Amino acid sequence: MKKFKLFLLAAVAVLPVLQSCNDSDVEGADSMALVTILNPGGLSGTFYFKADNGQTLYPSQFAVPTGGYNPEDGQRAFIYYSLLEEKSQQYDYNIKLYGISEILTKDVEEMNDSNEAEFGDEPIELVKLSGEDRFDCLISAGYFTCSFQIKVTGSEKHKISLVRSASADDTEDPDYTLLELRHKPDDMGSDTPVARSSMASFKLNSYDPAVTQKKGLKIRYKDFDGNLRTALIDYTE
């Protein structure tokens, strides 16, 4: 197994969203879960986790020092852990925490003619699961979580957004809500860009299929060849 300390793993995107939670690449941990970090007090050491199945997990033990880790309330992440036998009256499980991989976490934003330039429209591709025709995307717990690729040249910043356009038309696929995955990089200079993978989780709010009662989401994006593509992502309760 790979040896990781408790820090934010830059390579989080190599972990498929749909990977079994019984699999882990962190030494000592026997489970992995996609969670929302809850830290309502905003204090270091007071956070706990809510898995996408609704169960709560409290990190009562740590494999390594946390270094004063103080996450934002609502931050999405993968956690690597082992269950402890000691029961908790307040949480579903006590865990020993071995690692945290934060994921870019944002809300779906509204886009119109006046602010479209803020979101850009540079190429960004959804990643497919290896050997399958499915995208590495998941709708769960009110979030759309996805793996994606963009072209980068170095340390420039990249803005990734999921937006609902004011001109969106759902009539072509009425069982799906149309959202757009947008990418806006800083000046990338003249160096040759390379593809790099990453991951994001967007809070859907009123666009959540659990709210709209639709089958899922229709994600529009622009591929590396400049072609507009769409992906239908089904919601499974």
pLDDT tens, residue by residue, 87-141? 888 999 999 999 888 999 999 999 999 999 999 999 999 998 887 788 999 999 9
Whether the CB-CB separation of 209 and 218 falls below 8 Å is answered with no
Same structural domain, 138 and 189: yes
| Boundary residue ending a domain (83, 103, 123) | 103
Q: How confident is the model at residue 26 (pLDDT cuts 50, 70, 90)?
A: low
**Residue 25 confidence (pLDDT):** 60
Beta-carbon contacts of 168 under 8 Å, excluding residues fewer than 6 positions away, are: 178, 179, 180
| Boundary residue ending a domain (82, 103, 124) | 103
What are the beta bridge partners of residue 184?
Answer: 159
| Boundary residue ending a domain (44, 72, 103) | 103
pTM to 2 decimal places: 0.86
Residue 11: CA atoms inside 13 Å, Cβ hemisphere, count? Answer: 5
Same structural domain, 118 and 216: yes
Does residue 172 belong to any structural domain of this protein? yes
For residue range 45-83, what is the model confidence (pLDDT) as tens digits? 789 999 999 999 999 999 877 778 889 999 999 999 999
Q: Is the pLDDT of residue 237 over 80?
A: no
Average pLDDT over residues 151-179: 93
Does residue 222 belong to any structural domain of this protein? yes
What is the end-to-end Cα distance of the chain in Å, rounded? Answer: 32
Same structural domain, 139 and 94: no
In the chain, how many domains are there? 2
Domain that holds residue 173: 108-234
Residue in this structure with the two tokens 């590396």, named with its chain if needed: 224
Rounded CA gap, 220 and 28, in Å? Answer: 40
Same structural domain, 99 and 69: yes
